Chains A and B, each alone.
Chain A
Amino acid sequence: AQSVTQLDSQVPVFEEAPVELRCNYSSSVSVYLFWYVQYPNQGLQLLLKYLSGSTLVKGINGFEAEFNKSQTSFHLRKPSVHISDTAEYFCAVSDTSGNTPLVFGKGTRLSVIA
């Protein structure tokens, strides 16, 4: 079984500053990794995913994440945040069989301060 740990429950950051949201996973098999974002009163939207290949993955809205197998991490980064990035961010993992459900972390609330 897989598990995900999001190390920070809340991250405040000033507008135009860089941000990194941390995610570590645990699995005994190969994995797929995802970041989803949830804006207030909405469902989740996919930001980016890692399936295979390049360990640096670029997503929507200027976000990127790097898969580090040795450290079992998949941290999300953005070089310059905007007020509109204020939301809850979820890291998720599944095995590569395609038949098991996504396991989500508990989320990181990103608050961008003007």
Chain B
Amino acid sequence: KAGVTQTPRYLIKTRGQQVTLSCSPISGHRSVSWYQQTPGQGLQFLFEYFSETQRNKGNFPGRFSGRQFSNSRSEMNVSTLELGDSALYLCASSSTGPGEKLFFGSGTQLSVL
């Protein structure tokens, strides 16, 4: 089985721009979670989608949004980028949802200049 695939692997943007990150989960997995990883804060939960519905949401501003398609692929969007948005964004999938084993992608490294 192919693992969780995240694209692109690296992104460089400037302040004020917007960005879209993509995540393809393991085949058959219906839950996709997104985390932001930074050296100071560790992993912080952004949101989780299950069968195209947002099931959980973390404590991030409305500039961070996401969606899930019928094939379980997910995208997250960050609008009006700020310097502090520079981070590794990790996507994880599971068969039923959080609490089950999460399978992580390698992440998208976003740098905001």
Contact = CB atoms under 8 A, between A and B. Distances in A.
B55 interface: yes
Contacts, number: 60
Interface size bucket, B side?
A: 20 to 34
Interface string B77-97: 000000000000010100011
Interface in B40-82: 41-43, 45, 48, 55-56, 58
Nearest to A97: B99
B55 to A, nearest CB: 7
Interface stretch (A14-22, A38-46, A75-83): A38-46
Contacts of A90: 42-43
**What secondary structure prevails in chain B residues at the interface with A?**
strand
Interface string A87-114: 0001000111111111111110000000
Contacts of B96: 98
Contacts of B41: 106
A41 B99 CA distance: 25
Interface size bucket, A side?
A: 20 to 34
B102 A102 contact: yes
Given A101-B33, A107-B43, 15 more contacts: A32-B99, A36-B102, A43-B4, A43-B90, A43-B92, A90-B42, A97-B99, A99-B55, A100-B56, A100-B99, A101-B45, A101-B56, A101-B58, A102-B33, A104-B35
Interface of B: 4, 33, 35, 41-43, 45, 48, 55-56, 58, 90, 92, 96-102, 104-107
